[in-house]
Structure 1
Amino acid sequence: MEHTDERDRKSFPSVYYGWIIVGLSFLTIAFHLTARFSFAIFQVPLIAEFGWTRGALGSAFALMMGLYALLGPFAGHLLDKFGPRAVVPWGSILVGIGLVGGFFISSLWHVYLLLGMFIGLGTALSGFATHSAILPRWFRQKRGIATGILLSGIGIGSLFLSPVIERLIAHFGWRIAYLVYGFFVLGILAPVNFIFLRDYPENVGQNIDGLPRPETEAATPRKAGTEESKSIGQVFFRVKSDKNFWALALLGFMIGFQTNTILSQLQLYLVDMGYSTATGAMVIGLAGLLHVVGSVFIGWISDKVGRPGAQAFSCSLGVLCIVVLLSIGYLGHPPLPGFLFSVLYGLGAGGVSTMHSSMAADSFGDRSFGTVMGLLTICYAGGGIVGPPLAGFVFDFTGSYVIPFSIVLLLMLSGIFIALFLYEEKTHGAFASGPPRA
């Protein structure tokens, strides 16, 4: 790869390549996580055609999150050892295979295999945690805004892809919708990531944050795996005594439960409340737009006022959005109550995800950070494993979402406490600098 590094150092003299990395991660996050969350949109025609219960489909979603959790630390370790170029494109390939395979679904086990397993494994290799671990290699001073832009990809995916998916289903059927989506991921995202991803700023002759390098200091290319590679166990035993790790683990579970429970059930819930499928997709899309705003704006604000306060504010918006969701049948006719929910949910969800990633990066730096994010992914995915099937089975039993949505509300309240009283703000963490600690 030496010739590639030399070519790169000559090709990008005035553009900081970190922003290209952000753009690639943004695009990948948009399509990969929408592949997960669009499960809510596809559930409507799947239930109509096959008569499967919400609990059964929620269990397929839980399998997706379970594999995401189990593979997360290993994906992070692979990222630390071999670099993003050796990991992320394979995630796109697996997600693409799962989506294309959706065209052939005719039994429930197909859903578990194609959507649960392939997309679960694929998003572990190239999802939120992986890309959140890539950015600290490229950004320090602008980490909050860079992370916000990255995670706004989740919102952009919901904003543009959710309505497109709904229209494809309406006009051509859910099988064609899966096929089109999958071919895009396989044919475009996978090769683009392989061609353009790089490991470190030094590989393109630049310095972190795009800052100028002293003329007397040469830019020495860095290769993945040239630094000391710590095992998953070594990383865990180092961070387990840091209270920030456990604060972030609790926040991760909260975010995973909230995000996956709401987005996996939202379309079904809105249809139950009298919304059309098209209007439901618009509500999800608007939430995506505000997710973009929340990710970028709260990320920018946190660079100036600190992460804990910004996280507590984001959790407060999450509390309000659940109050609106539980009251949506009493707030007037569609679609205005749904749009009010979208505003609160989008801003809050964008903020909590961005702050979680930025708080982790602030605490643990960039050495072995991929493995740290993989460990935290277990907690996030744990919430995703528990929430959707719980919500589905509770609805199957009671005909109501009051209990699962109330649990989400309580978790968001706890997030305010965790951010303000358990998390200790840092600028340099366990792996940020200096020699290894005993």
Structure 2
Amino acid sequence: MREAADTTGRTGGGGRGGRRRVHRAWFVAAVTFVTIVGAAAFRSVPGLFIDPLHTEFGWSRGTIGAAVSVNLALYGLTAPFAAALMDRYGIRRVVAAALTVIALGSGLTVWMTAAWQLLLCWGLLVGLGSGSMALAFAATVTNRWFTERRGLVTGILTAASASGQLIFLPVLSWIVATYDWRPAAVTTALAALAVVPFVWLLLHDHPADVGLRPYGATEFVPKPAPVPGAARRAVTVLLSAARTGPFWLLAGTFAICGASTNGLIQTHFVPASHDHGMPITAAASLLAVIGVFDVVGTVASGWFTDRFEARRLLAVYYALRGVSLLFLPMLLAPTVQPPMIFFIVFYGLDWVATVPPTLALCREHYGDDSAIVFGWVLASHQVGAALVAFLGGVARDVFGSYDVVWYASGALCAAAALMALVIRRRREAYAGAPATV
């Protein structure tokens, strides 16, 4: 009956009477987009809270950066296991649980009085929850529901995090400046909880659940049986992929991507701008503008990835990012000048434009295991981000400015551009992990 239902035009092709219907995959993608936006509220918080927490509790920026680094590291290290858990228990259950954990961790921060509590709430709880909502979630949805337009859909879903930043940063910065950091923490918790009903009611795990083929597929694809041993499978896939050169090149370049975005700009741009006399609301608004152009850049990158060689796209993205970082120390000032606006627009377009080509290279080299492999590549992204989130705070404490961090990150981006060019096309089949272990 499912195959019969699937051939009635519900795939987005010609339906009864020649009508075209929107494929359900696009509704699932829309729900996924909204879910990632809701979970992204916390991603806007760390840069806004560094100065208030330093002022109220006297914690050093290195201590606060350590909590952010734990969060970022767990965000990445949880992702491959979350992808395997989605294969075992379904997307809906894993994502709903993750959103609840994010809300719990963010909400509990309002009662903290010691630095270890910051590490527990920001680092452990929100890190684990947001890791299960990481880009591996977008990769899993894309792989299951789409066989065409994967680059475009990946770009759109990747841009969801930036859209969340666009929505929440101005609001949260206003709350912090007008009231306190605690109401902002509560706001992020409520945003995560608000998305849970949408996930539970509207996010289907697989096209076969509703009798459909994936978008663009020519044949009906049965829903695979739940895969037991999620943790073992994630590790087995890692061990298989780690025997290949492309994995290490992708992991290395993506570590630098994380270092130069989440770890550097998202965590330290606001306090660095504040060091030069810029109001916190103005600096947060600039980050929100990055979010605007990130949406444009990431969606465009998905379109480019469907048409151009992914490794060359990566090389261009990293090279341009590195050049822009070298100029940033000269642009920071008490007021927003046109050169700073140009930097923000330029950096926004390049922010996570690296994701669609990186995911495309994972698919090319690792096939059915690509979502889990991408989860491990994302783990390297977050480890790089975690290191710079911590070291950036330490550098500010030691040197009194962030200049050395900007220059070092620019040099790393140049290295990433060269690494991307070294990645070769797949010449032989990938001997990956078995589907069931």
Please say if 1:261 is aligned against 2:289.
Answer: no
* In structure 2, distance between residues paired with 1:74 and 1:262: 27
Given the alignment, which residue of 230, 239, 242 partners 1:240? 242
* In structure 2, distance between residues paired with 1:8 and 1:141: 17
Q: What amino acid is the match of 1:243?
A: G
Does the 8 Å contact 1:80/1:371 carry over to 2?
no
SS at match of 1:305: coil
Cα separation, partners in 2 of 1:385 and 1:8, compared to 1, 3 Å: farther
* In structure 2, distance between residues paired with 1:427 and 1:18: 32
* In structure 2, distance between residues paired with 1:430 and 1:193: 34
Determine the structure 2 residue equivalent to 1:43.
50
Structure-to-structure mapping, 1:2-401, within 5 angstroms: 14-186=21-193, 188-211=194-217, 213=219, 219=220, 221-225=222-226, 231-259=233-261, 260-329=263-332, 333-365=335-367, 367-401=368-402
Does the 8 Å contact 2:237/2:432 carry over to 1?
no
* In structure 2, distance between residues paired with 1:358 and 1:34: 27
Does the 8 Å contact 1:136/1:361 carry over to 2?
no
Measured against aligned partners, the alpha-carbon deviations of 1:119-146 in whole angstroms (never above 9, x if no partner) come to 1000111122232233122223311110
Does the 8 Å contact 1:79/1:370 carry over to 2?
no
* In structure 1, distance between residues paired with 2:296 and 2:302: 10
CA shift, 1:344, in A, is 1.6
* In structure 2, distance between residues paired with 1:104 and 1:240: 43
Cα separation, partners in 2 of 1:10 and 1:95, compared to 1, 3 Å: farther
* In structure 2, distance between residues paired with 1:349 and 1:250: 17
Percentage of identical aligned residues = 25
Cα separation, partners in 2 of 1:6 and 1:263, compared to 1, 3 Å: farther
* In structure 2, distance between residues paired with 1:335 and 1:361: 42
State the Cα RMSD in Å: 3.0
Query: What is the TM-score normalised by the length of structure 1?
Result: 0.88
SS at match of 2:424: coil
Give the gaps of 5 or more residues in structure 2: 12-20
Q: What amino acid is the match of 1:49?
A: E
CA shift, 1:427, in A, is 11
Measured against aligned partners, the alpha-carbon deviations of 1:94-153 in whole angstroms (never above 9, x if no partner) come to 111112122223322221111111110001111222322331222233111101000111
Measured against aligned partners, the alpha-carbon deviations of 1:321-340 in whole angstroms (never above 9, x if no partner) come to 2023122148x952433322
CA shift, 1:248, in A, is 0.9
* In structure 1, distance between residues paired with 2:6 and 2:187: 33
Does the 8 Å contact 2:66/2:389 carry over to 1?
yes
Measured against aligned partners, the alpha-carbon deviations of 1:24-64 in whole angstroms (never above 9, x if no partner) come to 22223223234134211122222222222111100001111
Does the 8 Å contact 1:362/1:427 carry over to 2?
no
Structure-to-structure mapping, 1:403-418, within 5 angstroms: 403-418=404-419
* In structure 1, distance between residues paired with 2:147 and 2:431: 14
SS at match of 2:306: helix
SS at match of 1:400: coil
